[in-house]
Amino acid sequence: MWQRRTFHECADELEIISTDFRSAYLNKLGFNESRRTQIMTDCSRRGVEVLRVLALSVRSDEDFGLTSANLRQHVGAHRPKSTSSEINFAMKSYRAPYNTLKDSRPLALREALNKIAHANPTQTGFFANEDNHDILLTGEKNGDIWIVVISLPALCRAIKVLPDIQTSC
């Protein structure tokens, strides 16, 4: 029998992945560059998988009334219209916290999950330090290029507020 993971198990795993990524990125354990890159690449791959599972599962369950929690909790910032040069600048210069993203508005959990599902995989970025791990995602909607910053710790906290339902993916 196949056993699916729960929302909370996915959030726990994402927290561990984020901690491992930040540890390698900040080189807390003194790994050589090759080992650090290997760890960060593996963490990124696993993190994307978990994010996609959460994005599709939570949105689907909410669509059918299976989650009773409020998905309006803020987990990042959204700038619905950006130019290519603004996105390039944000990717190179962004620093936490997410609410400092110029000309942005708060990003609720539901909207963050939508952006994860529709992100352009070729134009992403991140910011990581001891206390923050934010991902920068871009995409397009109705001809407008958008950018979002999602705090992984805030996303995990918001997921853990939801009822602990098995993922539907």
- What whole-number distance in Å separates Cα of residue 89 and Cα of residue 141? 20
Question: What's the CA gap between 28 and 67, in Å, rounded?
Answer: 38
From residue 68, give the alpha-carbon distance in Å to each of 16, 58, 62, 113: 26, 11, 8, 16
Q: How confident is the model over 26-58, as pLDDT tens digits?
A: 999 899 999 999 999 999 999 999 999 999 988
The reported pLDDT for the residue numbered 155 is 97
Question: 1: pLDDT confidence band, cut at 50, 70 and 90?
Answer: very low
Beta strands 124-128 and 105-108, pairing class? unpaired
pLDDT at 105: 96
Question: Can you tell me the mean pLDDT for 109-136?
Answer: 95
In the chain, the amino acid numbered 24 is A
- Its pTM stands at 0.91
pLDDT in tens, 140-164: 999 999 999 999 999 999 999 888 7
Q: Which residue has the higher pLDDT, 126 or 60?
A: 126
Task: Name the token pair of 122.
Answer: 């070729």
Q: Give CA separation, 40 vs 23, 37, 49, 110, 140, in Å.
A: 9, 5, 14, 27, 27
List the structure tokens of 38: 């290997």
**CA distance linking residue 19 with residue 44, whole number of Å:** 12
Residue 5 banded pLDDT, cuts 50, 70, 90: confident
Return the beta strands (E) in 25-123 as ranges.
74-82, 105-108
